[in-house]
A and B are shown apart, each in its own frame.
Chain A
Amino acid sequence: MDIFGDLLMGLSVAITPINILYLLAGAMVGMIVGVIPGFGPSAGLAILLPMTFGMDPIGAIMMLAAIYYGAMYGGTITSILLNTPGESATVASTFDGFPLAKKGRAGPALVMQAVASFVGGTVGVIMITVLAPLFAQVSRSFGPPEYFLLALMGMLTLIVMIGQHWKLGLISAMIGFALGTVGVDLETGQGRYTFGSAELIGGIYFIPIAIGLFGLGELFYAFYKGLHKTGTGGIVQYDKEERFWPTAKDWISTRWTMARHSVLGFVVGVIPGAGATIASLMAYSTERSISKTPEKFGKGEMAGLVAPETANNAASSGAMIPLLTLGIPGSASTAVLLAAFLLWGLRPGPLFMEQNPELAWGLIASMYLGNMALLAISIFAIPLFVQLIKVPYRVLGPTVVVICTLGTFSVNASFVETYLMFAAGIIGFFMRLYGFSPAALVLALVLGPLAEEALRQTLTISRGSFMIFVERPASLWIIGVTIALLVLLPLLNQVGKSAGQAEKAGS
């Protein structure tokens, strides 16, 4: 079947009243999760995952995916109105988004970010539609040696991209790896660090850890910073009538920006370990460096908002490629999405699209619809989300604690996991306080066991010889790409970061 046939079949699966309802619910929740500062898509997904029990798998996965990409839309609203990014991928959107709002152009900024997000997201889905089957074909030549190298690539990229605090990132990843060793050793069947407990046979599940680190940890940090005492009086008011819509100049000046960063963002998203945050920072710095008026950046330039917004949405689409075709998550939030697939007995990988065409294409088709819904929501429901920003932390805080606890417990009805979640919450607070990387920990916890198993499988197959990594053509390619990334990414990242810091200093 050709791509259009597949996509039409996917649409017919996605367009049922109940699935559309789930999709809209997912989009709304994604916006909300994005709007609440310090509460990103990873925590939102992890907490809402148990709620999908009993739902039809297609509806459930469509909804969870909508939360994932919807968060990219919502996160920008606070970046523009409050100068506080709703989540890390929208940090770059504060650089020009907030100055625009201060200049009285909050309305156009909000509309343009919605359009930019839509363009980035939709171009991203188009690229998934075209590229995912090709990737699945290529990845059929991938076995344990290639999986080991890909997991390694993901971890190295993540650590390199952390930049100057890479040592703290490395330590965070090591903690994740250590936690990943708990459980029955796949090869020998012996329990490791299980202390005879049946609950630990299966290892430490990363969902409670992710909920603790991202949900509770961020909340504790917000209280530590005193967010519950300060009101939200800093919201920039915007004109709902006269100056709400962008001018013709806004559209014309940013049309190539959107095109460029849709592609760039997508490519960065495909790389395991890179993801939306890095894509948005890189987009901002490249846009500024090729702009004819770089001096206007940071003072309310529309292109400076459009570039990172297009890129982070395109990147979140791009990250679906390794997830669907390899089963390798590139970030903490795609790791939670992977957990959702596994929960339904679906194992994403090279054979996934072939064996589950309805689900795979249904999901892809739903992403077109989801992006349209999000465009509409983020233009017309802005007043609603502005109200949400005004909810004080002393109300939000206890609610989050309750949701985190219930969410964790309902996954496996396990007290051990609930305690682990609270422990992770406390650890997450200190990690945040001292600049460690919770994302590196969670990703290492997921990729660590994968890498360990793949390496041991590889060495069993090769009878202990490491030459297998250079004898297989697919392995050689991955090694080549990894080396190229490790050389190129730090350079790009440096440019991105310095651009970001310059803006911060200037504003």
Chain B
Amino acid sequence: MTITSKAQRSWAHAGAMAAILALPLGVAAPAIAQDYPSAEETLDWTIAFGPGGGNDIMARTIIDILTKYDLYPGDIAPENRAGGSGAVGWGYLYAQSGDPYGISTTSGSFVTTPLQADTPWQPEDFTPVALLATDDLVLVVNGSSEIETIEEFIEAAKASPMNIGGTGTVNVDFIVPTLFAQSAGFEFDYVSFNSMADQTTALLSDALDAMVGNPGEILGLIESGELRPLVFSGQNTPAALEGVPTMGDVGHDIGVSMPRGLILAPDAPAAAQDWWIATMQEVVETPEWADYIEGNTLTPTVIYGDDFRVFLETTKNGFEEVLRSVGAID
């Protein structure tokens, strides 16, 4: 199936090439732009993680919006190609170099997996469409703690080093508090956990002093007063965390977030990239998208095209530097 469609596609390309050669250049370029996306072609949408995860939910939300508003003319075939923390799925997309019909959504592992394993691809290899949102973190202490504000926290941490829990090591959970502590001038011991539930349990049992986490996952405990939020790492505090300052507000902006965006295969035609940028501009205006952002407590941060590539590169370099300085990668 795939082989046939690939063959048809390259014939189509050959046809387009012939058209370019036969016609004056000025006429040919818009012809390609009108060709994309063709209703005949199935969009091969790679989801690099299993069903139910954050990446899967985002991909399927976008697909639902595209379908509902009739933004994409052809069929969309979403497929979960999980494995190796995204290496398998994005490796699959990497292999479709030049194909305008291969697409995927990114998440944190898009930056961290190539730092950890010998992937043939790097984040900047792909054709960037847009950064749509970022995952930011909130620093919380136990609701019964004596620490009420971030200022008190910093002061206490300077007096005697605290331990802060987070999920994983090659991850924003580690990088955010590290950069924040460097800026605010305190030291801490990072304790890494496998899941949010494990670290929350540890914090509630008073084994941990504090932890960082995605607000969406602990909102219930914050509302019930069992956890107390101190500071938020994003640019704007989400509505659910009203009154909590951002790291920028307290003078320690760190500028690191997990990118949730959209990419095409490497070297995809400019026409395809432009079409997707224009389309995503419509997607992010829909009420469904607003619901998704709110429901998952994401920070809406939208940048397009090559700015997204620069963002990815900056994020990757920032991660690499911090992780190398602590010996997490070599």
Contacts and interface: CB of A to CB of B under 8 A. Distances in A.
A145 B51 contact: no
A188 B53 contact: no
Given A187-B169, A189-B116, A198-B113, A463 B84 contact: no
Given A198-B85, A413-B81, A186 B194 contact: yes
A351 B224 CA distance: 13
Contacts of B198: 327, 347, 349
B220 interface: yes
Interface string B106-117: 000000010011
A28 to B, nearest CB: 26
Interface in A136-157: 139-146
Contacts of B194: 186, 453
A16 interface: no
Given A197-B84, A201-B117, A190 B329 contact: yes
Interface size class of B (residues with CB under 8 A): 35 or more
A202 B117 CA distance: 11
A201 B84 contact: yes
A142 B195 contact: no
11 contacts: A141-B206, A146-B205, A186-B192, A186-B194, A198-B85, A198-B119, A200-B84, A343-B50, A414-B88, A457-B193, A461-B208
A245 to B, nearest CB: 48
A413 B91 CA distance: 14
B52 A189 contact: no
A349 B197 contact: yes
Interface in B150-198: 163, 165, 168-170, 174, 189-198
Given A186-B192, A412-B83, A143 B207 contact: yes
Nearest to B197: A347
List the 4 shortest-distance A-B pairs measured between CB atoms, nearest first.
A143-B207, A198-B84, A198-B87, A347-B197
Interface in B56-97: 81-85, 87-88, 91
| A-side interface mostly | loop
A474 B174 CA distance: 29
Nearest to B200: A351
A188 B117 contact: no
Contact of B201 (A185, A196, A351, A412): A351
A355 interface: yes
B116 A191 contact: yes
B327 interface: yes
Interface string B98-125: 0000000000000001001111000000
A187 B330 CA distance: 15
B300 to A, nearest CB: 23
B45 to A, nearest CB: 16
A368 interface: no
Given A198-B117, A198-B119, A345-B53, A460 B191 contact: yes
A141 B208 contact: no
Contact of B195 (A187, A194, A202, A347): A347
A350 interface: yes
Contact of A327 (B113, B197, B328): B197
A186 B168 contact: yes
A204 B206 CA distance: 32
Interface of B: 50-53, 81-85, 87-88, 91, 113, 116-119, 163, 165, 168-170, 174, 189-198, 200-202, 204-208, 220-221, 323, 327-330
Contacts of A188: 169, 327-328
B197 A352 contact: yes
Interface of A: 53-54, 139-146, 184-191, 194, 196-202, 327, 343-345, 347, 349-352, 355, 412-414, 453, 457-458, 460-461, 463, 472, 474
A447 to B, nearest CB: 13
B114 to A, nearest CB: 9
Nearest to B87: A198
Nearest to A355: B220
Contacts of B328: 188-190
A413 B201 contact: no
B117 A189 contact: no
Contact of A343 (B52, B81, B85): B52
Contacts of B170: 184, 189
Nearest to B54: A345
B193 A453 contact: yes
B207 A461 contact: yes
Contacts of A196: 117-118
A458 B327 CA distance: 21
B189 A460 contact: yes
Contacts of A186: 168-169, 192-194
Contacts of A457: 165, 191-193, 202, 207
Contacts of B81: 413
A199 B196 contact: no
A201 B85 contact: yes
A29 B163 CA distance: 48
Contacts of A141: 205-206
Nearest to A342: B195
B63 to A, nearest CB: 16
B59 to A, nearest CB: 15
A388 B118 CA distance: 50
A213 to B, nearest CB: 22
A196 B197 CA distance: 29
Contacts of B88: 198-199, 414
Nearest to B171: A189
Contacts of A413: 81-83
Most buried by B among A187, A191, A351, A458: A351
A147 B205 CA distance: 11
Contacts of A144: 191, 202, 207
A474 B206 CA distance: 12
B84 A202 contact: yes
A196 B206 CA distance: 38
B84 A460 contact: no
A450 to B, nearest CB: 8
Contacts of A414: 83, 88
A97 to B, nearest CB: 42
Contacts of B204: 140, 350-351
A142 B205 contact: yes
B159 to A, nearest CB: 16
